[in-house]
Amino acid sequence: MNDRRLAFIYAPEIEGLSYPPDCPFKTERSTLTRRRLISFGWLGLPNRAEVAAHPATRAELGRLHSDRYLQELERATAGELTPEGLHMGLGGPDTPVFKDLLPYATWACGAALTAAERLLAGQVDVAFHLLGGFHHAMAERAAGFCYLNDVALACLRLAENGKRVLYLDVDAHHGDGVQAAFYRRRDVFTISLHESGHTLFPWGGFEDEIGEGDGLGFNANLSLPAGTYNEAFLDAFDRAVLPLLAAYAPDVIVLELGMDTLAGDPLTHLSLTNHAHEGVLERLLRRNVPLLVAGGGGYHVENTVRGWALAWQVCAGEQDEHDLSLGMGGVMLGSTEWAGGLRDHDRPVTPEQRRAVEPALRASVDAVIQNVFPHHGLPSAASASKPPAPDPGPA
């Protein structure tokens, strides 16, 4: 255990709220993660606190979302879907209308803002907010199970308090709603590593989307080809993200830690294990910068819960006495289940997989280096694409 102060932002009120039963998004993931942490004795200790969220107010939601859009969400929650609501994206296969729609989204936004407030007050070093991660929601449009953009609101709150914010999104889906919110700003630098828009919703997030106006060069996208595996992912992270992180020197990092990048997720096509998420967190924690960890995608519930519990373990510096796989080797159940610990089993990488992934990922990294690096005083020559030395963090 280290002396890093962690907060798990939670609202028991959400336990009675859910999406429709046939919707892939399951609200119980945060509750199940909380129970897992409690069962391990990792929550409710000094510096490992549970913090009650508050529901976001209408004024807080209005910092990003328009009043007419919020009115349509109210109507949809009451069972009324208007032509205007349809135009705003409501009522689609990935944006169902249901009675808990606005209550859950409001709690998720409030939890994100609670996390931001704790970081601003200097009360915690890492705040976990797993209720949301609704990075597809736009100012006046719903998409991809997202109605209100909690992570964008958290970034906005931090930026309005004078912080340089790095929003880092490692969800399998491109964080298009957050990108749109800050595309012309430089106080929130958005970086998204996601499955390529050629193969996955929302069909965008390409390397030439680098911001506009004052935000030119403060938006970066790295496309991951289907089948991307840990080694290739972390190499790309080291080459493309770490130099930008060091150059931008954020005051706070907001990390969307989606678990739909894991092999076996029913909606995506990547081949990561949660060792990749562990690697990302270890690299970020070396910076000793306040960190907000948000949820996001993850449609294999048990894999998602285990991945988030491992993320908490990494941030808390907890030992592996609860990772039974160390003692029993783990038991693989089918292709995606793993009984006996939080860490996933290793996945072999085939030569065919390497041939499919490495050239495409190398091209994506090189495009980020060429398009974004010069805006931050970093070299864009081919030599810049060589993996950097491990980032030791600030002196």
Residues annotated as catalytic (active site), given as ranges: 136
State how far Cα 315 lies from the chain centre. 15
Please calculate the CA angle 267-104-296 and round it to the nearest 5 degrees. Answer: 35
| Continuous segment of H or E residues that includes residue 167 | strand 165-169
Any bridge partners for residue 95, and if so which?
A: 92
| Sign of the alpha-carbon dihedral angle for 245, 247, 253, 256 | negative
Q: ω into residue 202 within 30 of 0, thus cis?
A: yes
- Rounded to 5 degrees, φ, ψ at 36 are -65, -45
DSSP track, 325-361: HHHH--EEETTTEEESSSSPPP----HHHHHHHHHHH
Could you tell me whether strands 331-333 and 337-339 are parallel, antiparallel, or unpaired per DSSP bridges? antiparallel
Give dist(CA 117, CA 378) in Å, integer: 33
Please, which residues have CB within 8 angstroms of residue 124's CB and are 6 or more apart in sequence?
5, 6, 7, 49, 51, 118, 290
Within 8 A by CB and 6+ apart from 380, the residues are 369, 370, 373, 374
**One-letter amino acid identity for 326?**
L
Please give the DSSP secondary-structure letter assigned to residue 240.
I
Distance CA 220, CA 175 (A): 11
- H helix or E strand, kind and range, residue 129: strand 126-129
Ramachandran quadrant class, 281 (left: phi over 0; alpha: psi -120 to 50; beta: rest): alpha
